Chains A and B, each alone.
Chain A
């Protein structure tokens, strides 16, 4: 995979991992709308949620869900906080290996942090012109990896969607869009 990625990167006109990450690294803050679709054999039809995403370099990612019921999920450092109404629960991300790969991968990408990405994932990049797809496969240290693959698609310095596939066949697809200028 890595070899393939490197080969693709070598084609001069396409974006390289470094140039993509450099684009992200320039940006200190990000704010987008998202819609998320969860596909599972438990669910009759895919579950849709939507809201906003906020990113502050280097490591604060907030998922503010508005529909169907408002709640906030804030990852900051090793801390994951869930706020729902008056309730607030915090936990250490490192205590929950089933959650950390996605959040860490996303945050490292948004921060343009290649070292962290390479430490935690096997990276595969395919790019054509401005369009690119970054495949992150967790360097599984556990016996039963929860995630099979994380895929981030983008165009230039913008992420368009994030999809992840779990070992049990469940899939989550998150589509991002620029918020309407207010």
Chain B
């Protein structure tokens, strides 16, 4: 199919506003009389709150309202699983937990008042190790967990392991009995922060009609509305979330953060209340990607056929689990990998500890699971004396196979994707001493979701898309504009996008996430454009006496044979706009998935352990690519975040205390750390929706870290099973190996 606009690189809708500073973010929104609020955070990991005395703070200059746990008794919030205390009630569960909140005329006054709040704590036994926390007898962090709303499954006795998912296939014991070789290893991954530039922030105002007006960079505005309504048991209609520009999300901006506190302070003070987390607060309490421990055990035949694959994963949820959509993290199940094995057992536990809460970050669960799985597959291949790429090729799923966790997809392109990356990367080319190449793979189907869209063609000639989706920063708006331009044969630059607040948007809009933006929004934009075109042509037929089937569109004009008529003049004549409407309810499992295969090439300095990533080649099995420049941006961005996860980033936490406070200490890769990135596209007609698309946002990130770990072993023969892959770990392993 050939298109005019779709499939061509198109500049983003938000470039200019972001570069010139005109984009309006949450903290740019100011209402008359706005108060600033700050929270007092716990210095204890697990402690009983014996007493809170706010009397001195109440008398401090500028202070308008103070809240403590006593004011929010019984109120718990979360995205769907609701276990988060608005403010700590009776006890604190992590260092950094919010204990009290102050709203004052100025930020400085709010900060100063925090110092005047006296809290007495009595320490409780704490647990920081995720595996220890899952065991019987560990200090119980949430004794009431069985009563929390949204818990997928209740337990006989309260436990820290509040999610225990097990997928089984075949009979794992007999699988291992058939194996000639069994390889078992444990892999560990740290927490990493999303690193968005804009920290969590919000502005809450209770307007003159007693409606709760929220400004927040939440990428799931209807979800924020629902979470707030559920937490405070108020009708959803009372809440309106207003559109703002999101200053980076990477998965971390789907949950309510300080909105519940700002709401209560606004209620108490009668004033709008603004809260902006400092980055220090982001690091100590900002819901980073979960850390975890994963034990993998794989049985193979001597010829390299996988027969049994087992994983036991423990993800450290920290003190609260409600900062991610559901209680379960499905992505870790990707530790099943892209391979076939008759017998499998994948168990994933999400466990409370007294560490900071874990949250959601690009491809939730997958970077963890894929690091473990793809590192492990290499170890298994080496154990049976096979080249890791050849071992993968032998065991990769093919058309008709299910994933080990039981998902079925059609148009499986795993082998094609692997073949493409091996060829493009020069995987088999000769290499010098201490140079290594490693391969890793992953897969992810485009997520499902719901949205609605309207498209208006107005008497003034404007074309406006009305959508309840907030542009999360990935270019969804650019894509929907391309689609409307394609279907209406007009210039995308002339199309305006009107972001709807949550009153005007539809309540079932699932927002952005799970690489579903293009899948869900493209269907809606297409249907809305078709509907508008149909209505326009019907009108034209009536007014112009042109046969509808013979009318085409060309920018501002309706065209029939040699005759051209501006459509805005027709609309002026009838005095109203034409509105196309569409509803997409497409939240099911995608019938197709997308594979990613990557090859990292590293040089290892055997005297220091320093690893230099020389080249990274990534191959992607895609459907139609709507906007090549945006698609490539997602790939490069994902790979760069993968490099960070693999080599540099980690949030150090010692006995529950986060040891970094700023981006000087918490290092993200910068351009000097990024080698030449090469992308190979394996495009096919397989995909979903009117344009046959697949997702791309989350696919590139996960295989990067294991590809690098595998390349390190290829280069110098040591295996690092703990992220990030630092020089010190590599060098220590080299010393142990060389004695």
A binds B: no
Q: List chain B positions with a Cβ less than 8 A from chain A.
A: none
